[in-house]
Structure 1
Amino acid sequence: MVAPPWFELPPRGYGGIEAMCADLTDALVERGHDVTLIAAGRNGTRAHRMLRTYDLPQGPRLGEPLPEVLHAAAAGRLLDDLDVDVVHDHTLAGPLLARGRRVPTVVTTHGPLDGEPGDYYRHLGDSVHLVAISQSQRAQAPDLNWAGTVHNALRAADFPYRRDKEDWVFFLGRCTPDKGMHLAIDAAVAAGREIKLAAKCSEPAERAYFDSEIKPRLGPGVEWLGEVTGERKKRLLARARCLLFPLQWEEPFGMVMIEAMVCGTPVVTLRRGSVPEVVVDGVTGLVRDDAAELPDAIEQVASIDPRACRDHVIDHFQPQTMAAGYEAVYRQVLGATTPAPTTPLSSAPARQDMRPVA
């Protein structure tokens, strides 16, 4: 399991890919697999062994090319000495080293596939076996060398469930136009509801969007919280009347949707990207085609049963379900015909951390 170099596993705050890698690693170990993790920083997973490329995660350098390239080079050298059946790479640069490798390389495509990202995977050809995180994402580039589609997941037990909701709506995400925070504010104001806004806003483009579109909309009933993580984020998700998620792009998979639903909080959203695969319209939220329909949906959301929201996540987006999906992919690329196990096979042995290599 090759994780990106930016955040530790599991991340203490921001780091969606790292959270997914940590949950998948633990679920595979619980199902009886021997997992070696290549990552940066501390090992908070149940992997049998960890090989570090950096002593400290490189999050402060996110966006620079060198940490990603050095991480890929170090991981490639480590993999030369490992006896493994499959390499599962979650990085961008790492798959460049897959051609000629004696074992198959599975790559999860965590981002959009239009333009240059899609061309990148086309050039890799059959040297990697790609896994989409939604059918919507896969449809962006159906010609790629797909091995399967597996939705992301979370551990329901890590999130609080609350049936009784407070009378305000919540926006959670990044401070970018494609997340539609300005539309969420407008919808809440039109519905006469208070809205709380929690978003990452640290990069120049994020601050520019905040200054031009969000700051002028702040005032009574529109509360800016900044970036929230950990237990505070979970408590806010559980208390809110609904999560407002007015997407403005074809997002491959919005983790915030399943985070809200597992807390018993329905999602009011627009029909973009993976939304129809994640939210059951009328059961776990309300899916609309136009932002003008959102204020009315905020009022109608009271008819959604919070228990149905949580049950939907437990039934479809748990790490064991995700791990079973990836098991099927691993067996497919190995040419195996043995059915994948559906129940945990063993408990995890003690962790083993290896010496840093960079």
Structure 2
Amino acid sequence: MLNPPYRYGQDTTQWITVPPQGYGGIQWVVATLIDGLLDAGCEILLVGAPGSIPRPGLIVSDATTPGAALGALREFAPDVVHDHTNNQLLPTEAPWPTVRTHHLNGALANPANGVYLSHAQRRAAGSARAPIIRLPVNPGRYTYRETKDAFLLFLGRVSAHKGARQAAAFAQAADLPLILAGPAWEPDYLHGILADYPDTAQHIGEVGGSRRTGLLAGARALLALSQPFGGPLGGEWIEPGATVVAEAAVSGTPVIATDNGCLAEIAPHVGIALRSAVVPTPEWAAKILAALPTPEHLRATAVERWGHHVVAAKYLEVYRRAAAGGTWS
């Protein structure tokens, strides 16, 4: 299992571990998939996440370069390599069958044996036949609450393409405070939100552990108002997978999302998907909040559709296909 070797925020002495200390969408995906695969009896070498904690069936390698990764893979001799790094860590001379999950916009650096997170992401990548496997969630890692507190939650990168400003506008219309939990690498954007919504929005930075799960379980709703502009690499942004939707749902928290990318496909099962450009009014926001699903429905739906055992079983089918010499693009 190849994980992107990213540093933890501005701290050059730490790597983002699996699971992550705070913000780390891909790392949560890798951690949750590993949970399901270990339960299915797999033995896994995790490459590219130094500092992660090994456990029975899981070996952690400190390799963070393609050359070091190749050495670790040769020693482990895997049946299949699962690349989550878009070829960043995959050795070019790797002789093993490889499956590549795409976590970004655009096309895979190498589309051979690609797996996509949504129909929208696959279309944008120009693929028509590659498998689509949703992002997993492990209910055992989250807190479930049926009673909710009077606040709305934005959990993720505080950036234009993630819709943090739109979340503040909705929260103001709903007359509820908004907690912005996540890194803010564009300070002017964050300051603009806090200046325009001083009585609504509060930024608490990155969160991890029980604080993160507590926020997910306690929020009246999660706001995932992704926008089709302002992406991290410029140009159009198509939300590829949205781990946080399943995380909120398994915590019993409904999701208010836009229809950008994957959100149009998954959010209606556990909340609502709105048009990206909609301007909220108090009456409209109140109707949205009143019509959201119950916590019991949300958790059951999340486990049935995106539970880690369900998703791990789908990946095992793909691994067997690749190990048997199957190829697709």
TM-score (norm 1): 0.77
1:138 aligns with 2:147: no
Give 1:95 deviation, angstroms.
6.5
Choose from 301, 307, 312 the match for 1:323: 312
1:173 aligns with 2:152: no
Within 5 A, what are the aligned runs for 1:1-358? 1-6=1-6, 7-46=16-55, 48=57, 50=59, 52-54=61-63, 71-94=65-88, 97-98=91-92, 101-113=94-106, 118=107, 121=109, 124=110, 128-143=112-127, 147-201=130-184, 203=185, 206-211=186-191, 213-249=192-228, 250-280=238-268, 284-289=270-275, 290-293=277-280, 295=282, 296-303=284-291, 304-335=293-324
CA distance in 2, matches of 1:313, 1:162: 14
Q: Deviations over 1:1-57 (max 9, x none)?
A: 122222222222222212222222232122122222223323425463525235xxx
Give 1:297 deviation, angstroms.
4.0
TM-score (norm 2): 0.84
CA distance in 2, matches of 1:242, 1:312: 16
Q: Does the CA-based 8 Å contact 2:149-2:218 persist in structure 1? A: yes
Q: Deviations over 1:181-209 (max 9, x none)?
A: 111111222233332222211x3xx2121
Q: Does the CA-based 8 Å contact 2:18-2:31 persist in structure 1? A: yes
CA distance in 2, matches of 1:43, 1:174: 22
Partner amino acid for 2:203? W
Q: Does the CA-based 8 Å contact 2:18-2:52 persist in structure 1? A: yes
Q: Deviations over 1:219-257 (max 9, x none)?
A: 223333233222112212222211122110321011121
C-alpha spacing 1:317/1:74, structure 2 compared with 1 (3 Å): same
Q: Does the CA-based 8 Å contact 1:76-1:94 persist in structure 2? A: no
Q: Does the CA-based 8 Å contact 1:169-1:193 persist in structure 2? A: yes
Q: Does the CA-based 8 Å contact 2:158-2:180 persist in structure 1? A: no
What SS does the corresponding residue of 1:286 show, helix, strand or coil? Answer: strand
Give 1:293 deviation, angstroms.
4.8
Give the paired residue count.
305
Q: Deviations over 1:111-142 (max 9, x none)?
A: 111xxxx2x62xx35xx311112222111123
Give 1:96 deviation, angstroms.
5.6
CA distance in 2, matches of 1:13, 1:169: 19
C-alpha spacing 1:3/1:232, structure 2 compared with 1 (3 Å): same
C-alpha spacing 1:42/1:214, structure 2 compared with 1 (3 Å): same
Seq. identity, %: 31
Kindly name which structure, 1 or 2, has the bigger radius of gyration based on alpha carbons.
1
What SS does the corresponding residue of 1:225 show, helix, strand or coil? Answer: strand
Partner amino acid for 1:326? Y
Give 1:94 deviation, angstroms.
4.2
C-alpha spacing 1:138/1:13, structure 2 compared with 1 (3 Å): same
Give 1:97 deviation, angstroms.
3.0
Give 1:298 deviation, angstroms.
4.5
Give the stretch that moved more between structures: 88-97 or 185-194.
Answer: 88-97
CA distance in 2, matches of 1:335, 1:267: 40
Corresponding residue number in structure 2 for 1:341: none
CA distance in 2, matches of 1:35, 1:77: 15
Partner amino acid for 2:300? D
Q: Does the CA-based 8 Å contact 1:95-1:105 persist in structure 2? A: no
Q: Which has the higher helix share?
A: 1
Q: Does the CA-based 8 Å contact 2:4-2:88 persist in structure 1? A: no
Flag structure 1 segments of 5+ consecutive residues without an equivalent: 55-69, 338-358
Q: Does the CA-based 8 Å contact 2:156-2:182 persist in structure 1? A: yes
CA distance in 1, matches of 2:59, 2:95: 21
Q: Does the CA-based 8 Å contact 2:177-2:201 persist in structure 1? A: yes
Q: Deviations over 1:321-357 (max 9, x none)?
A: 11111111112223389xxxxxxxxxxxxxxxxxxxx
CA distance in 1, matches of 2:151, 2:221: 8
* Superposition CA RMSD, Å: 2.4
